[in-house]
Amino acid sequence: MFVSRLAIASSVLALSLFTPVRAQDAKDSKDSKDNPAAKLLNRDIPRHKEFLKITAKGEGDVIFIGDSITHGWEGAGKKAWADNFASFKPVNLGIGGDQTGHVLWRLTEGKEIEPLKPKLAVIMIGTNNTGAHTPEQIAGGIKAIVAELQKQKPDIKVLILGVFPRASGLKKEDTVAPADKLNPKIKAINDIISKYADDKKVFYKDIGPKFLDKDGGLDRKIMPDLLHLSPAGYDIWAAAIKEDLEKLTK
């Protein structure tokens, strides 16, 4: 009788310990399912198919995941990429126009990283969601990307970069976007995603201020269209994270 009661007590204790975890997992799953920024968006386009050929080789210690700003390492950022990242065996998985949902499709249905064993993923995504989604939804989409990376590659480290500043509503002759013209959603997104870091497997860094002048303005010398980076902008980006890559790939 004593043994039976002890077994029942042990079972109750186990349930009380593990139920909250399962409840949180269920909540996260529901939140992701209901979040439009975490809905898979098909990205079966030629650039995705090129990625599959590249990743099929199984080479790449660091993967850069993002939209046109990441894609731009192959354009305005080409020299900075070669000068700063070549030793990391980097793979550029940026596609212009991508939202968080496109990235999720590429990682899941698109199987872009399946052949790889990356040490680190650098994520910079979310700016293309700002027109249709709330900061909370966008942050949720980024969280879903991190979760998917960890699901597929349990040993991977993830460096989440704060979404870069952007501005609009200026004339072409205006060379600097003042601080009050910067998109306010960016800060709201970054305030949320900064909390995803555990500094063990997931890390966060906001390098956005490095693109701004002393008054918090955004100069066209850094972002000619107040969104995409110039070569000087990519130099800033590379310098800002190179040391992080060195630490996180050891």
Q: List pLDDT tens digits, range 114-143.
A: 999 999 999 999 999 999 999 999 999 999
- What CA–CA distance (Å, rounded) separates 140 from 249? 26
Look at residue 18 in the predicted model and tell me its pLDDT: 32
- What backbone torsions phi and psi does residue 74 show, to the nearest 5 degrees? -90, -5
Q: Which of 34, 174, 191, 225 is catalytic?
A: 225
Please pick, among 67, 98, 228, 230, the residue that the annotation labels catalytic. Answer: 228
Q: Name, in order, each residue with C-beta under 8 angstroms of 44's C-beta and a sequence gap of 6 or more.
A: 110
Spatial separation of the C-alpha atoms in residues 56 and 42, rounded to whole Å: 20
Quote the distance between the C-alpha of residue 222 and its chain's center: 21
Annotation marks residue 228 as catalytic: yes
**Cβ pair 105, 40 in contact under 8 A:** yes
Q: pLDDT class for 11, splitting at 50, 70, 90?
A: very low
Phi-psi domain of 239 (left: phi exceeds 0; alpha: psi -120 through 50; beta: other): alpha
Q: What is the pLDDT of residues 194-244, one digit of tens each?
A: 999 999 999 999 999 999 999 999 999 999 999 999 999 999 999 999 999
What pLDDT, on a 0 to 100 scale, did the predictor assign at position 32?
74
Instruction: Quote the pLDDT of residue 31.
Output: 63
**Encoded amino acid at 76, one letter:** A
CATH number of 40-248: 3.40.50.1110
Concerning whether 68 is annotated as a catalytic residue, the answer is yes
Among residues 68, 194, 213, 244, the one annotated as catalytic is 68
Say what the pLDDT of residue 10 is.
41
Three-state SS letters, the chain = CHHHHHHHHHHHHHHHHHHHHHHHHHHHHHHHHHCHHHCCCCCCCHHHHHHHHHHCCCCCCEEEEECHHHHHHHCCCHHHHHHHHHHHCEEEEECCCCCHHHHHHHHCCCCCCCCCCCCEEEEECCHHHCCCCCHHHHHHHHHHHHHHHHHHCCCCEEEEECCCCCECCCCCCCCEECHHHECHHHHHHHHHHHHHCCCCCEEEECCHHHHECCCCCEECCCCCCCCCCCHHHHHHHHHHHHHHHHHHCC
Largest CA distance in the chain: 86
Whether the Cβ atoms of residue 65 and residue 123 lie closer than 8 Å to each other? yes
| Domain residue spans of the chain | 1-34, 40-248
- Does residue 25 have an active-site annotation? no
